[in-house]
Structure 1
Amino acid sequence: MPDVSRTHLVLIPSYNTGERLFSTVEAARAQWNPVWVVIDGSTDGTGERLQTMAASDPGLRVSILRDNQGKGAAVLHGLREAQAAGFTHVLTMDSDGQHPADLIPAFMQASQDRPETMVLGRPVFDASAPLLRVRGRRVSNSWTQLETLFAGIGDSLYGFRVYPLADLKSVMEAQPWMRRFDFDTEAVVRLAWRGVKPVNIDAPVKYLTAEEGGVSHFRYGRDNVLLTWMHTRLVIEFVFRLPGLLWRRLRGAPPFQP
């Protein structure tokens, strides 16, 4: 059983993930303590079953939101509870089995070594990755590089990451976005603007088939419209930030500010 961390926790948002949620949580618990799960209005009964598991596992905590609010909203709920409990960093991972639980200790160690940074997974794809998703990711990454003036973010969408809790909570509470599928990308852009530097670590990602218990709530039309709107907003804001950003770089000061 891993030792209890008082500063870093694993945070897993989940919406109707089915049986795959339980193997994801078990894999995370085998690597880290504590693990918190936020059930985002699921209707598949997983929340109640996971609460039963948590009753006999002090390293597992489950929060259930009555209504589905989106991944970012579920993460923000967890951030508020984690900060109230005294934690300083959270590792977010998806509940559908795509992320490598065995790398949790390495990511946490990287964060503990440099707590002022955000530790970002840089996905290594295998043959299971849909080509359309991979190509779309390249487009999002290109926009993110521009929006952050090439701050070194290895990937804008891979949600296996360790965030400084106070910084992430602050940028989320300062504006109404980042509540759904736009969370992962906007989080790294706004944290870069805040001066949080990225540390990139390669990590495999696996797209599970339905036969393997894979569940995806990504919708190409709806979510690509959401991402396009997000990048439009970020580029406009970046243009307004650009003069100050360049001036600060010329002075040798940290390039970004809140």
Structure 2
Amino acid sequence: MPERSSTHLLLIPSYNTGGKLVETVRDALKFWAPVWVVVDGSTDGSDAAVEAILPEYGGDLRLLRLKKNSGKGTAVLHGVTQALEEGFTHVLTMDADGQHASGYITTFMQASRKNPNALVLGLPQFDDSAPLIRLRGRRIANWWAQFESQSNLGDCLFGFRVYPARSLYEVMQKTRWARRFDFDPEVAIRLIWRGHPPLNVPAPCRYLTIAEGGISHFNYYRDNVLMTWMFARLLVGAFIRMPWLLARRFSGDHESVHIATPQVERSKSNPRPQ
């Protein structure tokens, strides 16, 4: 039976993820409830597949739809807005494409409950399926994110994380950016600026092949340009805050946290901590 919560919600944004969406939803519901799926203008019928299983799960599963594809950040904001209206305090975001291990949901939620002010960030443990070019690009992005936040932010791109919902909502209301591929890194930096320490939790991450149902909407040119522009924009804010960020860092008043978990399985199945 899944663990149920009235404060911590599992939110799955999705755009054209095909059959992987229902597979991910079913697997997540083994561990946690409620689960909300936000379909971001999908045209592949994946929302209908989720709608078909709603009667099986009753109130544990909800489907939200956006008519137009507007990006992951917009989908998450739509879900968070409704979550706040219903009294949820924290939201765990999880990709719909099968990259994230559902067995770690409870670990992340427990970490958030023990550290409610923290930004609980997944620290991806990649296997051999990870493309080398993506790993190299990730290192560059993480260096900039760590510099601009002056924190031990483990990974700025991994979307498996738990947000303090009210702060996430307020951060996104103050910027018209952070709506597409720039969502994950920008809100992480801004939440750390706001006073939420990063709490890094290791978790496996797999890049699925097309034969396994893997789907990627990442565009190397478009999304790298968007990321470069994002870091350039945030650099101004980082320099303005730098004296305060450095003082906080060296005083130990806002130390980032790293939670060790049991050795990560790297099998093709969706692993769970033992």
- Structure 1 residue 254, shift from structure 2 partner: 5.9
SS at match of 2:237: helix
Q: 1:251 to 1:159 in 2, by over 3 A?
A: closer
- Structure 1 residue 54, shift from structure 2 partner: 1.4
Q: Which amino acid aligns with 2:144?
A: W
Q: 1:106 to 1:245 in 2, by over 3 A?
A: closer
Partner residue, 2:208: 208
CA distance in 1 between partners of 2:12 and 2:112 (Å): 18
Q: Deviations over 1:47-70 (max 9, x none)?
A: 122122113312000001000000
In structure 1, the gaps of 5 or more residues are none
CA distance in 2 between partners of 1:174 and 1:157 (Å): 21
Q: TM-score, normalising length from structure 2?
A: 0.89
Task: Map 1:72-221 onto structure 2 (within 5 A).
Answer: 72-149=73-150, 151-221=151-221
- Structure 1 residue 245, shift from structure 2 partner: 3.7
CA distance in 2 between partners of 1:4 and 1:78 (Å): 18
Partner residue, 2:233: 233
Q: 1:185 to 1:251 in 2, by over 3 A?
A: closer
Partner residue, 1:24: 24
Structure 2 contact 149–245 (Cα < 8 Å) conserved: no
CA distance in 1 between partners of 2:227 and 2:135 (Å): 15
CA distance in 2 between partners of 1:177 and 1:17 (Å): 24
The worse-fitting range, judged by mean Cα deviation, of 244-253 and 72-81 is 244-253
The worse-fitting range, judged by mean Cα deviation, of 215-224 and 52-61 is 52-61
Q: TM-score, normalising length from structure 1?
A: 0.94
RMSD: 1.6
CA distance in 2 between partners of 1:130 and 1:83 (Å): 37
SS at match of 1:55: helix
In structure 2, the gaps of 5 or more residues are 256-274
Q: Deviations over 1:153-175 (max 9, x none)?
A: 11110010011101111101111
Task: Map 1:33-48 onto structure 2 (within 5 A).
Answer: 33-48=33-48
Partner residue, 2:54: 54
Structure 2 contact 197–254 (Cα < 8 Å) conserved: no
Partner residue, 2:260: none
- Structure 1 residue 237, shift from structure 2 partner: 1.5
Q: Which amino acid aligns with 1:15?
A: Y
CA distance in 2 between partners of 1:82 and 1:242 (Å): 33
SS at match of 1:30: coil
Q: Which amino acid aligns with 2:107?
A: A
Q: Deviations over 1:10-58 (max 9, x none)?
A: 1000000000111100110111010000000000111122122113312
SS at match of 1:167: helix
Q: Which amino acid aligns with 2:61?
A: L
Q: 1:139 to 1:79 in 2, by over 3 A?
A: same
Partner residue, 2:263: none
Partner residue, 2:65: 64
Partner residue, 2:7: 7
Among the aligned pairs, what percent are the same residue? 54
Structure 2 contact 91–163 (Cα < 8 Å) conserved: yes
Partner residue, 2:266: none
Structure 2 contact 92–109 (Cα < 8 Å) conserved: yes
Q: Which amino acid aligns with 1:79?
A: V
SS at match of 2:109: helix
Q: 1:245 to 1:206 in 2, by over 3 A?
A: closer
Q: 1:239 to 1:66 in 2, by over 3 A?
A: same
Q: Deviations over 1:189-225 (max 9, x none)?
A: 0000000011111111000000000000001011000
CA distance in 2 between partners of 1:126 and 1:253 (Å): 35
CA distance in 1 between partners of 2:111 and 2:16 (Å): 31
